[in-house]
């Protein structure tokens, strides 16, 4: 029987499970054993040619109203042939109200084409059969999701063990009931777990892993004489050439998701070790602690010029190590320092930091290693300006006059200076100053009469005991209004 290339995205249900439902009283009278047949849905149709209405994998239900009065074998041959061509999984024939028995020609055609044929008793409705199929599919989906969730949890726990790579491989081999192996760029087995397949399958799996780099792909699949289902996954990026190979006796629902999770964990666990980056950073740290100058260890960090980034959570909560590490990853650098309320990250100058959701960033100018301390000060000042102006990111540059005043002092000065004014007067004064003292434009902006604007501005001058025509007074008030 032909199998469609793209089956519906629904869990497969063994036909034998449907036949086991006593409430349906279905009986198979032709075709291959139900235990080897999977269905992906149920569909009722009385069309003589159901081909255009099938997606593939369905149990097609019919009462035979389309069957002519004295059909010949050619009719049933054509009917069943079209079902098989559409990828139908099985056929259910209802005994009522049109036919008292299943036509012999239909039985013969289903037997010839290898299509399972079910007899549906009069007391069993097609709607009941369809509902049973969907119930079994929902149960299968729930079982699959539970299996995947449990596998994800066990793989994550394995990754936290002292020997994470072998532990993840062992757990993966258990979950797929097969063999898991880690290959190096030359195709050698670095680590393995589970029951190894035969030599032929083992060689075929190694070849799949080697093909990944040659084809610039992330996965490759195959089988070996029905002994094993083989899958290879590329680990990490940057052409490292390491791969994960899996050989399993069968391919169960959810296996791809489980193996993909293991591949991601192994990429994270092995990426730095295999690239040598972690060893280089460790060496640089040791040399600095032993008295080496920053410029001497900079070549180990793979960059000549650097940016110092100071980051503070916008929620003003203390960052934790996990969020700090995630920020470093987002900025493209693992060189992260977690302080009380600020995260400092040393980033290569060619990776220009972008604004990050939930963070306020201050970025220094690009500097060489000898100027790292100065860049640290620049980043701290840039972060202070970013917080004061509520900007997500500020880069070090020529500071504005207002930025030279610490934000807390500026806010305190603004509160004291504007304390005599009501919110309405503050809003009027802000609009009037922003529009360069224009009475008419301010009246339009506030939707009030121009005389009302004059009265309010005069009231502001009286309460503040100042001359609003003085440009120095206006400048000081504007400075305060921006921080109120």
CATH classification of the domain holding 259? 3.30.450.30
As a whole number of angstroms, the distance between CA 191 and CA 184 comes to 9
384/324 same-domain check: yes
Q: Residues 252, 185: one domain?
A: yes
Q: What total number of domains does the chain contain?
A: 4
Residue 281 lies in a domain: no
CATH code (residue 25): 3.40.1390.20
Do 58 and 168 lie in one domain? The reply is no
Q: Using DSSP, state whether 179 is helix, strand or coil.
A: strand
Taking CA atoms, 256 is separated from 8, 37, 251, in Å, by: 17, 21, 8
Q: What are 126's two structure tokens? A: 């097609």
Task: Please check whether residue 329 lies inside any domain of the structure.
Answer: yes
Q: Is residue 316 part of a domain?
A: yes
Asked if residue 149 belongs to a domain, the reply is: no
Q: Which of 275, 292, 326 is the last residue of a domain?
A: 275
Nearest-angstrom CA–CA distance, 444 and 464: 25
Report helix, strand or coil for 330.
Answer: helix
Domain range enclosing 48: 13-136
Domain boundary among 370, 402, 434: 402
Question: Strand 58-62 vs strand 41-44: parallel, antiparallel, or unpaired?
Answer: parallel
Based on its alpha-carbon atoms, the radius of gyration of the chain, rounded to whole angstroms, reads 37
> Whole-angstrom Cα distance, residue 372 to residue 364?
9
Q: Does 244 reside within a domain?
A: yes
413 lies in the same domain as 397: no
pLDDT at 192: 87
Shared-domain flag, residues 236 and 320: no
Residue listed under structure tokens 């193996």: 259
Span 209-267, pLDDT tens digits: 877 755 555 666 766 656 678 888 888 644 456 788 888 887 777 788 888 888 888 87
**Residue 429 and residue 372 in one domain:** no
**Would you say residue 296 lies in a domain?**
no
CB-count exposure of residue 33 (10 Å: 0-12, 13-18, 19+): exposed
Say whether both 39 and 130 belong to one domain: yes
CATH number, domain containing residue 431: 1.10.10.2840
Structural domain includes residue 210: yes
Q: What single DSSP character describes residue 367?
A: B
Q: Are residues 119 and 20 in the same domain?
A: yes
| Percent of the chain residues past pLDDT 90, beyond the cut | 32
Q: Are residues 332 and 396 in the same domain?
A: yes
The one-digit pLDDT tens for each residue of the chain (484 residues) are: 444 445 556 678 899 999 999 999 999 999 999 888 999 999 999 999 999 999 889 999 999 999 998 888 899 999 999 999 999 999 999 998 899 999 999 999 999 999 999 999 999 999 999 999 999 988 888 888 888 888 888 888 888 776 688 888 999 988 888 899 988 777 788 888 888 888 888 888 888 887 775 555 566 676 665 667 888 888 864 445 678 888 888 777 778 888 888 888 887 776 544 445 556 666 777 777 777 777 777 777 666 688 999 999 887 777 777 577 778 777 878 788 887 789 999 888 887 888 888 889 999 999 887 788 889 999 998 898 888 778 899 998 755 555 556 667 778 888 888 899 999 999 999 999 888 889 999 998 889 999 999 999 999 999 999 898 888 888 888 888 877 7
Give a yes or no: residue 145 inside a domain: no
Give backbone dihedrals phi and psi of 120, rounded to 5 degrees, phi first.
-105, 115
- Outline where DSSP puts E strands in 252-331: 306-313
Please check whether residues 77 and 61 belong to one and the same domain. yes
> Are residues 245 and 217 part of one domain?
yes
Residue finishing a domain among 101, 136, 171? 136
* Same domain assignment for residues 193 and 131: no
């Amino acid at each position: 029987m032909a199998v469609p290339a793209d089956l519906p995205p629904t869990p497969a249900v063994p036909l034998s499970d449907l036949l086991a439902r006593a409430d349906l009283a279905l009986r198979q009278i032709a075709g291959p054993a139900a235990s080897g047949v999977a269905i992906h849905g149920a569909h009722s149709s009385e069309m003589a040619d159901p081909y255009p209405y099938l997606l593939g994998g369905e149990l097609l239900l019919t009462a035979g109203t389309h069957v002519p009065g004295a059909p010949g074998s050619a009719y049933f041959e054509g009917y069943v042939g079209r079902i098989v061509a559409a990828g139908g999984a099985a056929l259910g024939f209802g005994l009522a109200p049109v036919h008292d028995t299943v036509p012999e020609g239909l039985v013969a055609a289903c037997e010839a084409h290898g299509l399972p044929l079910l007899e549906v008793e009069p007391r069993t409705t097609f709607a009941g059969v369809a509902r049973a199929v969907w119930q079994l599919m929902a149960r299968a989906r729930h079982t699959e999701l539970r299996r995947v969730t449990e596998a994800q949890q066990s793989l994550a726990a394995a990754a936290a063990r002292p020997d994470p790579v072998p532990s993840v491989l062992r757990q993966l081999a258990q979950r797929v009931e097969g063999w898991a192996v880690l290959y190096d760029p030359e195709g050698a087995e670095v680590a393995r777990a589970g029951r190894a397949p035969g030599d032929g399958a083992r060689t075929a799996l190694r070849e799949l892993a080697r093909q990944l780099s040659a084809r610039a792909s992330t996965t490759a699949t195959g089988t070996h004489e029905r002994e094993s289902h083989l899958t290879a996954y590329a680990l990490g990026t940057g052409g490292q050439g390491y791969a994960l190979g899996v050989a399993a006796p069968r391919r169960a629902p959810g296996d791809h998701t489980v193996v993909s999770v293991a591949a991601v964990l192994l990429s994270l666990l092995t990426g730095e070790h295999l690239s040598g980056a972690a060893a280089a950073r460790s060496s640089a740290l040791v040399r600095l602690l032993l008295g080496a100058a920053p410029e001497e260890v900079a070549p180990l960090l793979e960059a000549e010029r650097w940016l110092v980034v100071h980051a503070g959570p916008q929620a003003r909560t203390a960052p934790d190590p996990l969020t700090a590490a995630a920020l470093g990853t987002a900025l493209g650098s693992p060189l992260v320092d977690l302080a009380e309320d600020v995260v400092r990250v040393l980033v290569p100058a060619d990776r220009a930091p972008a604004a990050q959701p939930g963070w306020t960033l201050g970025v220094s100018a690009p500097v060489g290693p000898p100027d790292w301390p100065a860049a640290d000060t620049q980043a701290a000042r840039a972060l202070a300006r970013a917080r004061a102006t509520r900007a997500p990111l500020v880069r070090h540059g020529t500071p504005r006059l207002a930025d030279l005043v610490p934000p807390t002092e500026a806010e305190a000065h603004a509160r004291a200076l504007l304390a005599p004014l009501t919110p309405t007067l503050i809003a009027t004064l802000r609009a009037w100053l922003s529009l360069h003292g224009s009475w008419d434009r301010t009246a339009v902006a506030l939707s009030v009469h121009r005389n009302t604007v004059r009265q309010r501005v005069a009231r502001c001058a009286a309460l503040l005991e100042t001359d609003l025509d003085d440009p120095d007074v206006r400048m000081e008030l504007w400075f305060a209004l921006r921080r109120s």
